[in-house]
Amino acid sequence: MYTRYKRWIDLFLIAAFTALLIGNIVLYAPVQSESAHLAAGASHWELSSFALYRVNPPLVRMTAALPVVLFFEDHSSWRTFSNYAALRKEFEMGNAYMRENRETIFPRFVTARLGCLIFAVTGLVVVLLFSQNIYRAPWAGLTALILAGTSPFFLGHAATIMPDAHAASMGLLSVYFFHRWLKSPNGFHTFLAAVALGGAQLCKFTLLVFYPVFLLLAVLYAIPFRGAGEDRPKNDTFFSRLRPLRLLLIALGSVLVINAGYAFSGIGKPLRNYQFQSTLFTGRPLQTSPDGRTKGPGALANRFDGSGNRFETLLGYLPVPLPSDYVQGIDTQRLDFETGLPSYWRGQWAEHGWFGYYFYALLLKTPLGTLALFLLALFCTFFPRGYNAPWRDELTLLLPAAAILLLVSSQTGFSVHSRYMIPAIPFLLIWISKPARAFTPSVRAGAPKSSRIVRFLTVLFLLIGAGGSLWVYPHSIAFFNELAAVVPTPAAPAAPKPPEGPAVIRFLDAGPLNGPRHLLDSNIDWGQDCFTLERWCRRHPEVDQIKISIWSDYLPELINVPWHNKGLPAEPEPGWYAARVCELYAEKSRYRYFWQFTPQEVLGYTVYIYHLTQEDIDAVFPEGFTAEEERPRE
């Protein structure tokens, strides 16, 4: 049936997944840093400057801001705007942008998010086409599409204007076109590969890793080896002769696209004329605070201005064929990892990150059905025949994913956001769609063996994975699978008491309710549930005052909540409370007393609603409350 109505089913699924995404677009409050991205995108269009938020390339935020600039009257003064390299003005400008446009600020966010749907839809289409192209099976494409469309990473992060999920779509598109070029390196495919690679670089600096990956793939495809099922490239002699030249054209074309994305500003500036902050580009150590717990940049410097060795001095005279803001952005991002941030993992706090952080997050924030399908794909890779694509085609999926994961894991200055690894996920989802080749008709040559049991397991795992993700929807950012409830954590053995309810519901909610024991911040609570709290207060008019902790980019006065004050008391008092889960797990444990009480409700897995009476407090602390000590750092 699917093959008969394939086109219509594919279109229906893409439309359905897009509708789910639009639901989150409307329901989510502005998440942390989202206002800074929107203000920066607007400044690119209105000021013709790329200084704001240069730590990320501008394509996603410019796409988000374009409909806002076109359809809304601007009230931004940009009074405190500065393009000085040592300043990070985007957060200040984001707050000012919201206040100056407060009457229409949330419609602006919704419009900006809807503008980014072009990336999400493109990603879904490419996942479908790439899987079908690699594994030559319509059912593999369908499986990959369902995996991607129901992925909590996709449903959560693609609903914002943050660049991670959108960069994943552009990164996948660039690899898809490069794979087409590897198979048929004509002029048209060269052009598409160059444009897509440049577009990917305009989304996230992480994707710079594609340049060595593409070079390695080109070398592997040049090996005169013909394995089972491999296609001989068209015009093989011609292909071998012109491959290096056209590969160079792809690289140069992508640089041209990068320059076009920055309106060709600051191109050709000698390296010695830049002012840098990071140790990598200054050659100077960062300044350390007297207590030794924080680091920061010293004076602006440049190791290529003659202060370094002879080779560095020589490099300093070379003109950089990239926009100056692009180069400064790489320096700023490097500085972030060098200075570090307080990081949390498995109940531990530290002033550094961990290499295994992203692999651990991938394990716990991927639906169990998807993990099971990964194991099935691994089994099908080594044992039954007929499930593998040609080895070089599969490397086209695995090498980019591995390179991205290794790159982000190697940056151990801090480990806070698992979203940094999202660009690797589409490649993995396509690779684990290979068991769906079991639906290939048995009369076809090379059909997989033992297909009946593999068919059953593929459908079962696909349903479990999609069902687990959709159970948590629309709170997809907060998704954790059931392993979060059973995997031990060394420094966070307990969790806040779950609200009372049916055992089945408690079981299905066990993953995200236990997730904070393992990971915090944007892994679960990014400020997206402010409107969820607002809707809860409307359903409970008996709550005339509530003490809340809130963490959002949205203006607090625009959230219609009858709050008594912002923040939680240092010791238990009678009243209503809305406690952020990140506050309950904060490094300083002065709010840990809430763990002794059972919440009435948990909103979006991130906001715990408590109603404490004096009787409740006396029952828990009959001898009076004693605050816990600050938790030690690693």
> Does residue 393 form part of some domain?
no
pLDDT of residue 566: 67
Instruction: Give the model's confidence band at 165: pLDDT under 50 very low, under 70 low, under 90 confident, else very high.
Output: very high
Flag whether 591 is in a domain: yes
CB atoms within 10 A of CB 485: 18
Angle (CA) 586 591 594, round 5°: 120
pLDDT at res. 565: 65
**What is the SS3 assignment for 280?**
helix
What pLDDT, on the 0 to 100 scale, is given for residue 117? 97
Region 225-236 average pLDDT: 54
pLDDT for residue 504: 78
Confidence label for 608 from pLDDT (cuts 50, 70 and 90): very high
Domain membership flag for residue 583: yes
What pLDDT score does 623 carry? 79
Name the percent of the chain lying above pLDDT 70. 91
Inside any domain, residue 407: no
Q: For the segment 25-38, what is each residue's pLDDT rounded down to a tens digit?
A: 999 999 989 999 99
pLDDT at position 599 over 80 = yes
pLDDT-based confidence at residue 583 (cuts at 50, 70, 90): confident
Q: Which residue has the higher pLDDT, 136 or 624?
A: 136
Q: Is the pLDDT of residue 228 over 50?
A: no
Query: Exposed (0-12), middle (13-18) or buried (19+): which is 28, by Cβ within 10 Å?
Result: buried
In a domain, 531, yes or no: yes
Predicted confidence (pLDDT) per residue in 296-318, tens digit: 777 789 999 988 889 999 999 99
* pLDDT over 60 at 237, yes or no: no
pTM across the whole model: 0.93
Contact yes or no for 373/458 (Cβ under 8 A): yes
Tokens representing 167?
């960069």
- At 559 the pLDDT is 84
In this structure, the number of other CB atoms found within 10 A of the CB of residue 607 comes to: 24
Cβ pair 61, 34 in contact under 8 A: no
- The count of structural domains within the chain is 1
Q: What is the pLDDT of residue 124?
A: 98
> Is the pLDDT assigned to residue 320 strictly greater than 90?
yes
Predicted confidence (pLDDT) at residue 575 exceeds the cutoff of 50? yes
The pLDDT tens digits for 377-407 are: 999 999 888 899 999 999 999 999 999 999 9
pLDDT, position 207: 97
Range of 502's domain? Answer: 485-620
* Residue 474 domain flag: no
pLDDT at 238: 45
pLDDT at site 593:
87
> Which of the two residues, 496 and 58, has the higher pLDDT score?
58
pLDDT of res. 630? 46
Sign of torsion over alpha carbons 234, 238, 244, 248: negative
